[in-house]
């Protein structure tokens, strides 16, 4: 099964909410559900205003070797690279 269940929340005007958790925990699904971008199988949802801001994050890897992905264009620092 995939999806989000057992969630109840109220967010009021002027509040800021940060959704965080481990990879695959349903953060993006929750937010896309709030935005109406996912099909709702059960329950209900209501957004009183369309004044929402969402900044999604897409993971990506450079099409190169692991070392270049770790260094991400920076000069090689052997001590830092070992970390």
What are 20-63's pLDDT values in tens digits? 888 888 888 888 888 888 888 888 877 776 677 777 777 778 88
Give the predicted TM-score (pTM) of the model. Answer: 0.56
Instruction: Check residue 50 and give its pLDDT.
Output: 67
Backbone angles phi, psi at 28, to 5 degrees: -65, -40
| CB distance 66 to 54 below 8 Å | no
Instruction: Check residue 1 and give its pLDDT.
Output: 59
70 or 57, greater pLDDT: 70
Shortest CA distance to 41 belongs to which of 53, 52, 29, 24? 29
The H-assigned helical ranges of 1-83 are 27-34, 66-71, 78-82
Instruction: Check residue 46 and give its pLDDT.
Output: 78
| CB distance 38 to 44 below 8 Å | no
Residue 9 CB partners (closer than 8 Å, separation 6+): 17
């Amino acid at each position: 099964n995939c999806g989000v269940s057992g969630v109840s929340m109220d967010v009021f005007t002027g509040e800021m909410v940060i959704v965080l958790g481990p990879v695959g925990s349903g953060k993006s699904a929750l937010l896309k559900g709030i935005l109406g971008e996912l099909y709702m199988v059960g329950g209900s949802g209501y957004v009183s205003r369309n004044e929402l801001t969402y900044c999604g994050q897409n993971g990506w890897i450079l099409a190169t070797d692991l070392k270049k992905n770790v260094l991400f264009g920076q000069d090689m620092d052997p001590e830092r690279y070992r970390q």
